[in-house]
Structure 1
Amino acid sequence: MSGAGREAASFDALVERLRQFIDDEVIPGEDLGTAHDAQAVERTAAQLRARAQALGFGAPRTAVAEGGLGLSWEQCCVWLEEAGRSFLGPLALQCAPPGQPDLAALEQLLTPAQQARWLAPLRAGRLRSCFAMTEPAPGVGSDPRMLRSTAVRDGEGWRLDGHKWFITGAEAADVAIVVARTEAGPSWFMVDTTTPGFERVRAIRTIEPFALGGHGEIRLEGCRVGPDALVGEEGQGLAYAQLRLEGARLFHCMRFIGLASRAMAMAQDHAATRESQGVPLAEHQMVQAHVADAHIDLYAARLMTREVARDLDAGRSIRHSSSMAKVFVSEAVCRVADSAVQITGALGVSEDLPLSMILRMVRPFRIYDGASEVHRAAIARRAFTRRLRP
């Protein structure tokens, strides 16, 4: 067998081990009754995370030498889809937002000293991160030019002031990547959440279950950090945010394809056994149409995501293609989850099955990491300004 063949066989075996872990340990660990209890979710996730590490399941994109799996972006498409079939899978396997996108960006931007202070413990799971960019009106939302948080030089360090909200993972975070405006422009700062002047105002409840760390509101008032808190170059914060978002969008696509495929598999099992008008639901053409459309959506979503992943592996720009993939996949997984609920009827909207929770989990993806409408506008602008052919 060639070297490439051995590598493929090794990866296939790794994925099979992951599939068994998800089926045998992670999905059975889901307690729908505590889906909105952050402490209960954290306890279960911590147990599963320890078990995953014992099985050798490190962070997918982190280098093998650093305790990760060193997977390519294309391999991550398979890995994260399997992990994403469970609400708890990404939490157990160090590929849940915001941690994994944060790691992917910080690995490229931090100095050796910063890596020792923040990156190494983040990789090991001893620290949690959050990415603090979004602000309440009139601050930054979909338009990065509206950033209002400020960072002013204060002696050798910086003084940060601002108001952030809907910051994923903020409640459980030990360190925040704070985006603030300096004289040179938007910049990134590593801020330990125990720093005086860093205040967690509240956890914002959303429709999502199993949202470890929640979506927090943060205030920074006279929050002073040292000179080593600045990430990369001053004024390059928006470029860094784009770097982070491209990977984050793909990770979302991969995970939610897995969750939506689980929903449809459950709906198909239900339709095969539940009868209506004397025959199984699976024999009704309207049900068949829902199933067929779901398979088409998932097939297209996988192909699109993997194509973008190949471009990323090859070092090609994915700004345009990742926007298109994000819009399509976010809407496709919603259609699939909605069809699964429709096929299962009253059972689907109950919490006897996880289908309604799956629908609630995937719905916000049409807003997170850029709303579909914003991406469509950007896609069209690029098509016209660059005279792109469809």
Structure 2
Amino acid sequence: MFPVSPELEKSLKAMRTIVDADVIPLERELARRKSFTALEPELASVRRKVKELGLWGPQIPTKLGGMGLGLMEHARVSEELGRSPLGHYVFNCQAPDAGNMEILEQFGNDEQKKTYLEPLARGDIRSCFAMTEPDLPGSNPTWLATTATKDGADYVINGRKWFTSSCEGATFAIVMAVTNPDAAPHARASQILVPTSTPGFHRVRNISVMGEPGDGYASHAEVTFEGCRVPQTNLLGMEGAGFGIAQERLGPGRIHHCMRWIGVCERAFDLMCQRAASRTVAPGKPLGTKQIVQAWIAESRAEIQAGRLMVLQAAWKMEREGAYAAREEISLIKFYVAGVLQNVIDRAVQVHGALGMTDDTILAYFYRHERAARIYDGADEVHKVVVAKRILKGYGLEVGS
């Protein structure tokens, strides 16, 4: 139904080889060192290899040194690289940089592209995206307290953000802030480029997630803006268009996330099956002879297959008709695949028993870090309600907020 071209098949095979041979072996070092930053020299070496092989930046336009893949093609790549938590970073298609590159390409002016997009596409710098606030619901990006007030030729930004992912070591942030407080809810906020070296930009802390503090690219930071002054020329796109730009970013981003989750599922599924086939239990039979384990394997296979097809169908529709036309499909995959992800990882941990709780396999890492899939980019419950309202509207029932 969704064929892969011979050229993409060749690229996917090469990517799989790199992930298996060069990336997955680094996972044990990540678990041992408990630091992403400490692993940077090894990761940089693999990144150079990726560039040499012409596999750099699958989603980046060729004019910026990438592969220039479309949404459907990149969806396939996301699954392949998602088998390792280091995969996307090594190929320079990691969040939040990938989304930031997309909106800079679409909405940035020539100077912004030269200053921010080009070095980001080369992998010379990293970036972060500051939208979520600790005191307001992150699932509603129209509700923000951070403000950007005009003063002469500048914006002066004040506010507090958190879960500004990959902030530590980032060169710049794209900040969502209210510039037009009296406008309609969807026209109040703008997106502004803020170098992290700007006075008034403060990274307060890296937030510990499920017991892991995270550092460097793996950080999730709390950030404050205290009289943070940047030129109005740092405005990304039109003033008041922050929500619309965010939606342009989140639509493809959810495709990328969901296919990455499918890759995580495939890795966990493979480990689960290996364990079921090799682990002997009383009275001397492999664990896979137990019917409950067989049921977990069958259910996981069915759920992964269904999730993959749903994501590819959503990507297919978005590529042809746009994000707005595919909004229902995007909401469906967001909560469905996030649920499959949690189910498959949990079953894999259970099959591994005590071993599944350790960092001797990647499963415990996945278990800690991928629980967030049901929260970010819109909580599952929000997407379910949105889909249900649209469906019921077709039956003549208007459901209010």
TM-based fold match above 0.5: yes
Q: How far has the Cα of 1:381 moved from its partner?
A: 2.3
Of residues 276, 287, 295 in structure 2, which corresponds to 1:289? 295
Alignment equivalent of 2:386, drawn from 378, 381, 384: 378
Q: Quote how far apart the aligned CAs of 1:384 are.
A: 2.8
Which residue number corresponds to residue 16 of structure 1?
13
For 1:345, which of 335, 339, 353 is the aligned residue?
353
> CA, structure 1 residues 122+387, in 2 after alignment: closer, same or farther (shift >3 Å)?
farther
Counterparts of 1:74-93 in structure 2 under 5 Å?
74-93=72-91
**Are 1:382 and 1:388, in contact at CA under 8 Å, matched by a contact in 2?**
no
Aligned residues: 383
Q: Please say if residues 104 and 112 of structure 2, whose CA atoms lie closer than 8 Å, have aligned partners that are also in contact.
A: no
**DSSP-derived class of the 2:267 partner:** helix
Q: Say yes or no: does 1:99 pair with 2:97.
A: yes
Asked whether the equivalents of residues 161 and 224 of structure 2 are also in contact (C-alpha less than 8 Å), the reply is yes
Equivalents in 2 of 1:387, 1:147: separation in Å?
Answer: 34
> Partner of 1:200 in structure 2?
203
Cα pair 2:142 2:243 within 8 Å, conserved: no
User: What code does the residue aligned with 1:373 have?
Assistant: E
Aligned-pair CA distance for 1:47: 2.5
CA shift, 1:9, in A, is 1.2
Aligned residue number for residue 71 of structure 1: 69
TM-aligned CA deviation for residue 386 of structure 1: 4.9
Q: Please, what TM-score do these two structures have when normalized by structure 2?
A: 0.91
- The separation in 2 between residues aligned to 1:213 and 1:352, in whole angstroms, is 20
How far did 1:208 drift? 8.2
Aligned residue type for 1:205 = S
* Code of the aligned partner of 1:237: G
1:243 CA drift (Å): 1.0
Q: Map of 1:23-172 to 2, 5 A cutoff? A: 23-30=20-27, 31-34=29-32, 36-137=34-135, 139-172=136-169
The answer (yes or no) to whether the contact 1:84–1:256 under 8 Å persists in 2 is: yes
**1:129-185 deviation line (CA, Å, top 9, x unaligned):** 111001111x35222232011111111121111100111111121110000001251
Does the CA contact (< 8 Å) of 1:34 and 1:41 recur in 2? no
Query: Compared with structure 1, are the counterparts of its residues 227 and 32 closer, same or farther at alpha carbon in structure 2 (3 Å cutoff)?
Result: closer
Superposed CA offset, 1:15-71 (max 9, x none): 111111111111112224346313223333323222211221121111122211111
CA contact (8 A) 1:172 1:213 kept: no
Contact 1:140 1:148 in 2 (8 A): no
2:277 maps to 1:279: no
Gaps of 5+ in 1: none
Identity %: 38
Indicate conservation of the 8 Å contact 2:30/2:36, yes or no.
no
Structure 1, 314-323 or 180-189: larger mean CA deviation: 314-323
Is structure 2 residue 253 aligned with structure 1 residue 255?
Answer: no
State the SS of the aligned residue for 2:225: strand
The equivalent residue for 1:361 is 369
Q: For residues 142 and 79 of structure 2, what CA distance do their matches in structure 1 show?
A: 34
Tell me which residue corresponds to 2:311.
305
2:326 to 318, 339, 342: 318
* CA pair 258-179 structure 1, distance change in 2 beyond 3 A: same
Equivalent-residue separation in structure 1 for 2:32 and 2:105 (angstroms): 34
Matches of 1:385 and 1:156, distance apart in 2: 47
Q: Is the 8 A contact 1:173 1:213 kept in 2?
A: no
Given residue 347 of structure 2, which amino acid in structure 1 is its aligned partner?
Answer: S
Partners of 1:318 and 1:102 in 2: how far apart?
Answer: 21
For 1:186-239, what per-residue CA distance to the aligned partner results, in whole angstroms no more than 9, with x for missing partners?
000000000111111110011387772410011111111112100101111111
**Alpha-carbon distance, 1:388 to partner:** 8.9
TM-score normalised by L of structure 1 = 0.94
Structure 1: how far apart are the matches of 2:41 and 2:390? 46
Could you report, residue by residue, the CA deviation over 1:99-150 in whole angstroms, capped at 9, with x for unpaired residues? 111112221110112111111111111121111001111x352222320111
* Letter matched to residue 345 of structure 1: G
Q: Provide the rounded CA distance (Å) in 1 between the counterparts of 2:95 and 2:107.
A: 19
For the residues of structure 2 that align with 1:303 and 1:356, how far apart are their CA atoms?
Answer: 27
- Consecutive unaligned residues of structure 2, counting only runs of 5 or more, are none
Q: Which runs of 4+ in 1 moved over 6 A?
A: 208-211
State whether residues 62 and 68 of structure 2, in contact with CA within 8 Å, keep that contact through their aligned partners in structure 1.
Answer: yes
Q: Secondary structure at the match of 2:168?
A: helix
| Contact 2:157/2:226 (<8 A) preserved | yes
**Could you say what secondary structure the match of 1:171 adopts?**
coil
Q: 1:135 aligns to what SS in structure 2?
A: coil
SS of equivalent to 1:115:
helix
Paired letter, 2:173: A
- Shift in alpha-carbon separation, 1:129–1:53, aligned structure 2, 3 A: same
Task: Provide closer, same or farther for how the CA distance between residues 208 and 76 of structure 1 changes in structure 2, counting only shifts above 3 A.
Answer: farther
Q: Distance in 2 between matches of 1:45 and 1:387?
A: 53
